[in-house]
Amino acid sequence: MRILTSLFSLFSILTSLTAQPVSDTIPQLGLVRVQGFGTISTRLQTPASVSTLREADLQRYQGTSLLPAVNNIPGVRMEERSPGSYRLSIRGSLLRSPFGVRNVKLYLDDFILTDAGGNSYLNLLDLNALSSVAVLRGPSGSTYGTGTGGVVLLSTQPGTLADRSDVSPSNGLRLGLSAGSYGLFAQHARFQASSGKRSIQVSQGHYQSDGYRDNSRMRRDVFQWSATHRLGDRDHLKTLLLLSDLDYRTPGGLTSAQMQANPRHARPATPVLPGALSQQAGIRNRSVISGISHTRQFDAHWSWMNSLTFAYTDFRNLFITNYEKRRELNLGLRSVAKWKGDWLNRPLVWQSGFEWQRGFYRIDSTGNKAGVPDANLVRDQAGSLQAFLFSQADYRLTKKLSIQAGISVNQFNYRISRTIGKPEYQTNAINFKPQAVPRLALLRTLGQRAAWHASITRGFSAPSLAEVRPSAGGFSTGLQAERGWSRETGIKGSVLKNRLQYDITWFRFDLKDAIVRRTNAAGAEFFLNAGEILQQGLEGFVEAYPVHRNLPKGLLQLKTWVSLTRSDFRFGAYQSGSTSLNNKRLTGVPRTNMTAGFDLTIPGGLYLTMTHQYTDSLPLTDANDAFASAYCLLSGRLGWKGRVGKLELEGFIAGDNLLNASYSLGNDLNAFGRRYFNPAPLRNWVGGVVLRR
């Protein structure tokens, strides 16, 4: 299959070199605007590894999950162990995430989605409420604080991160309905309206699935409001309200033999532990996220943005051996002052500000008695504080050379008090030393359609609250923050009048005190510092437009693309007991991940998208004594768009895993009892209709 993928990629590029001329409506690197490190610039002029998914990219699959679109970004790996159970990795940051999203910072418009404890509930969001997603790969703490993986910027407003030619109209109603394999049913509604002074988006989404495996059903209901108000000529106000009700079951990991015998089974019982089905293992999450931001444009140079985020979560984790309840209250404030103008006759953008987050948590841990908490209650009151100051300047040194320099100073601490259980009334204060996180980047334009960039950055990531206080109720007060230096260089540009666009990056990140996960005989997790990890890799993305013609009956377009990630991630000085794991491959990271696809649109409204993904084998343990096999996935979507009166109608059928591969998309790393595998669905289908007005 690797040969098939390579031949497909080569065919795509050669076709682009020989095809007919294309129109100027193809997105250009020098015109498409992206947001990275607090500034909005063109993709060509951004001195960083930033990838943007536009609304068309998000909607080219089954239309129910971010996962397939995100996995097309080089250096990024998103997993789903069962419906709703997401994990997100950027350049190997998955190692710390048994579930959820850690070590990656998330923002939704102007608002902080990652909580003060370092956790992000990405699975609360409805894909159909988003207009674009930008991913900053690698440490970005000079502007966004703690986290060595990267940053994800999600937008609900059309045109925020991408050019307006590639997003939905700002006014209109969209209704969608779809159904598919394994009891899948999804429905969404989105209304957008704008006038001269305000714009509003209201969306509602429902998703449910019985799941491929036993004990893997899922249900989610989301309501979201976002609005922008212009108050006079200088003031802008943004508001956000997100209500999400999520309930999904977790079938648990299987051994290789169990997976071969019946991949649809949940984790079975053992002589000493019950199974996932009888324990009703799963997650229940009811959350409210709200925010308000104000931007003041004082004059042609100065502006000041302040945003306030409030989040409340009622969270329950029913595990095989324990039942955890959490009440979480999080407050966040981000303030950025920006100056834009000329200094010494050269363009300068300077910004400074701070971010402050405070979290309050009540955590109850008991035993799990067939889905009901038992009487063995342990209760902790926890508080977390993270704050940082930052400053950054973007300056054009010469006509062709630009510099971006920034630094942040970070503070992070926890305070945990046991109020019920042993040891009684014990208080643990965990204070991490303030960390300075600098970043220096250069960009050199090479003509009008190419640019070279290079950067050096220090990364820092404190342990999350879920790592300091795992769900079973213990404390890991000795954990140290991860830290290290990252270096990268790359080239991006276009040739043949934008018919072929490319972005290639090489990086190396030397991480100290890396945090890894362990489980004991009961399956309870704990975390420790593993020493050094040496990460270097090559990331490439090529996009070509062999055909692009506006014909009397519509658009004829063929777009092809290839995304490649080549990783050489290894442990450095790492001792596990009496065993040296020096130079072992980093757990959970494939050496090669390659995705290729094409989008074909023909006059009359018909379209076809196809995607082929190859994922290399990957180690499941730090000792590299167990591996997940390589696999290939093929997915596609066939549909039609047209007008019926005043309505725009779309009908489609989408297929996933068309090659019927047997694989695990989300492995339990270093799992006790060698229960590593969470089998993914075999060939499955979704059909749906979308109405727009």
Domain range for 71: 2-692
Is residue 319 within 8 A of residue 295, CB to CB? The reply is no
Q: Give the mean pLDDT of 335-361.
A: 96
Q: Can you give the pLDDT at residue 92?
A: 81
Q: Can you give the pLDDT at residue 562?
A: 97
Say which range, 98-102, 398-402, 679-683, has the weakest mean pLDDT: 98-102
Tokens describing residue 606: 């018909």
Q: Can you give the pLDDT at residue 407?
A: 96
pLDDT > 90? residue 216: yes
Is residue 139 within 8 A of residue 147, CB to CB? The reply is yes
pLDDT digits (tens, 9 = 90+) for 578-605: 788 899 999 999 999 999 999 999 999 9
Q: Can you give the pLDDT at residue 170?
A: 57
- 242, burial (CB in 10 Å: exposed 0-12, middle 13-18, buried 19+): buried
What is the value of pTM for the model shown?
Answer: 0.91
- 618, burial (CB in 10 Å: exposed 0-12, middle 13-18, buried 19+): buried
In sign, the C-alpha dihedral spanning 26, 159, 222, 288 is: positive
H-state helical runs in 426-514: 465-468
Return the H-helix or E-strand segment holding 49: none
Mean pLDDT (the chain, rounded): 88
Is residue 356 within 8 A of residue 332, CB to CB? The reply is yes
Distance between CA atoms of residues 602 and 333, nearest Å: 48
Residue 473 confidence class, pLDDT cut points 50, 70, 90: low
Per 3-state DSSP, what percentage of the chain is helix, strand, and coil (rounded to 5)?
10, 55, 35
Q: Can you give the pLDDT at residue 521?
A: 63
Q: Give the mean pLDDT of 418-422.
A: 86
pLDDT > 50? residue 394: yes
How does 247-273 read in b/e, with b if 16+ C-beta sit within 10 Å? bbbbbbbbbbebbeeebebbbbeeeeb
Distance between CA atoms of residues 340 and 349, nearest Å: 5
Residue 475 confidence class, pLDDT cut points 50, 70, 90: confident
Is residue 687 within 8 A of residue 645, CB to CB? The reply is no
Q: Can you give the pLDDT at residue 194?
A: 85
Number of separate domains in the chain:
1
pLDDT > 90? residue 259: yes
Distance between CA atoms of residues 559 and 542, nearest Å: 11
Is residue 98 within 8 A of residue 77, CB to CB? The reply is no
Say which range, 3-17, 81-95, 345-359, 621-635, has the weakest mean pLDDT: 3-17
User: How many CB atoms neighbour CB 546 within 10 A?
Assistant: 22
Is residue 187 within 8 A of residue 203, CB to CB? The reply is no
Cβ-Cβ contacts under 8 Å for 489 (sequence gap 6 or more): 452, 453, 454, 455, 505, 506, 507
| Maximal C-alpha separation, the chain | 78
User: If you count them, how many residues does the chain have?
Assistant: 693
Say which range, 261-265, 312-316, 546-550, has the weakest mean pLDDT: 546-550
Q: Can you give the pLDDT at residue 164?
A: 37
Q: Can you give the pLDDT at residue 37?
A: 78
Say which range, 21-35, 50-64, 480-494, has the weakest mean pLDDT: 21-35
Distance between CA atoms of residues 324 and 595, nearest Å: 39
Residue 161 confidence class, pLDDT cut points 50, 70, 90: very low
Cβ-Cβ contacts under 8 Å for 251 (sequence gap 6 or more): 82, 211, 213, 214, 215, 216, 265, 266, 267, 276, 277, 281, 678
User: How many CB atoms neighbour CB 277 within 10 A?
Assistant: 18
Cβ-Cβ contacts under 8 Å for 413 (sequence gap 6 or more): 384, 385, 386, 429, 430, 431, 432
Is residue 72 within 8 A of residue 540, CB to CB? The reply is no
- What is the CB-side half-sphere exposure of residue 22 using CA atoms within 13 A? 26
pLDDT digits (tens, 9 = 90+) for 25-46: 566 655 566 677 777 778 888 8
- What is the CB-side half-sphere exposure of residue 270 using CA atoms within 13 A? 14
pLDDT > 70? residue 138: yes
Q: Give the mean pLDDT of 111-122.
A: 92
Of residues 372, 558, 490, 376, the one with CA closest to residue 48: 490
Q: Can you give the pLDDT at residue 40?
A: 72
Q: What does residue 17 show for φ and ψ, rounded to 5 degrees?
A: -80, -20
With a pLDDT cut of 70, the percent of the chain lying above it is 90
Residue 103 belongs to domain with CATH number: 2.40.170.20
pLDDT > 60? residue 160: no
Is residue 598 within 8 A of residue 12, CB to CB? The reply is yes
Determine how β-strand 150-155 pairs with β-strand 104-108.
parallel
pLDDT digits (tens, 9 = 90+) for 225-237: 999 999 988 999 9
Distance between CA atoms of residues 154 and 149, nearest Å: 16
**Cα dist from 181 to 177, 215, 515, whole Å:** 14, 16, 38
Q: Can you give the pLDDT at residue 445?
A: 94
Tokens describing residue 456: 């050096």
